[in-house]
Amino acid sequence: MSRKPARSGRAHLLAQARANAIPARRVDEVLEVVGLAKAARRPAGTYSLGMSGRLGVAGALLGDPPVLILDEPVNGLDPDGVRWIRRLVRDRAAEGRTVFLSSHLMSEMQVTADHLVVIGRGRLLSDSSLAEFLAAASPASARASVPDPEGRSTLVGCLTAADGVSVGTSASGELAVHGMSAAEVGDLSHHCGVRLHALSDVRVSLEQAYMDLTARSVEYASDATEERGRQ
C-alpha cells in the first residue's frame, strides 16, 4: 500500500530550488504566483488534482525560464484556475518568452494558443497560426438572416450568380452561404440593396479541424475515426 507524500508543497519546491542553485526566496515568490501560499506548508499528498497542477506549474516557474513547457496545465483546475492559467501563459508570452502548451482539450487551446504545431506518428502535420489552421480546414462560408422573404429571394439570386457559391435556406429562413465570407456576403447584400438582421462567418471548431487533420495518424482509432481517415 503506497503512502501519500508527507513533504509539504513548500519543502518540495525548496528541494528543487536547492538542487538547481535557485535562491530560497524564489520558492515563496512562485507559491504566491500560483495561489498556493496559504497551502504551502500542507503535505503535498493532501493536495487536490488542481492544487497538484498548480504546484507543478510553480516548479516550472522556479528558474524564471525564457522557455516554459506545460503539459496539460488545466487538468483538474476549476473555472477560475483555468482562467488563471490562460492569463499566466499570455502574460509570459507578452514578456517575450516562449510558452509551449500540450493539451488534448481543443476548446481550451482555441481560446489560448496563437500558434499550433500538430504532430502525428512522428510527422509534422501542421505548423501555422491558429487563424491559418482554421481557415485551411474549412472553405469560406457564412450565415445570413434576411428579415423579409422578398429580400431573401433577391440576395439568393445575387449570391448564386457568383462563381463557386451555393446557398441553402433553413426552416427559419436563415441563409447558409458556402463559398463566401461574411464580409463578402455583406458587401454583396449592400450592393443588391438587401437589409440584413444578422451576418456571421462559419468556421469549424479547432477540435473538428484537428480530428480531420489527424484522422490518418491516430494509433488507436474508433470505427468513426477510421471512416473519416478513408474519406
Question: What is the grid cell recorded at 137?
Answer: 480546414
Residue-level pLDDT at 129? 94
Residues of the chain within CATH 3.40.50.300 domain(s) are 9-103
The CATH classification number of 9-103 equals 3.40.50.300
Longest CA pairwise span in the chain (Å): 76
Residues of the chain within CATH 3.30.70.870 domain(s) are 139-201
Q: Which residues contact 138 (CB under 8 A, 6 or more apart)?
A: 202, 203, 204, 209
Residue-level pLDDT at 19? 95
| Closest of 38, 69, 33 to residue 54, by C-alpha | 33
Residue-level pLDDT at 35? 93
Residue-level pLDDT at 1? 41
Q: What is the DSSP letter of 44?
A: G
Among the residues of 20-148, which ranges form H helices?
A: 25-33, 49-61, 79-94, 106-112, 130-137
Q: Which residues contact 189 (CB under 8 A, 6 or more apart)?
A: 144, 155, 158, 195, 196, 199
Q: What is the DSSP letter of 188?
A: H
- Main-chain dihedrals φ then ψ at residue 107, nearest 5 degrees: -65, -35
Residue with cell string 507524500: 5
Pairing of strands 166-169, 141-145: unpaired
56 burial level (CB within 10 Å; 0-12, 13-18, 19+): middle
CATH 2.60.40.10 applies to domain 139-201 = no
Q: What is the mean pLDDT of each run of 10 residues along the chain (231 residues)?
A: 73 95 96 95 92 94 94 89 92 93 88 90 91 84 92 94 91 89 94 94 88 76 52 50
The model's pTM is 0.68
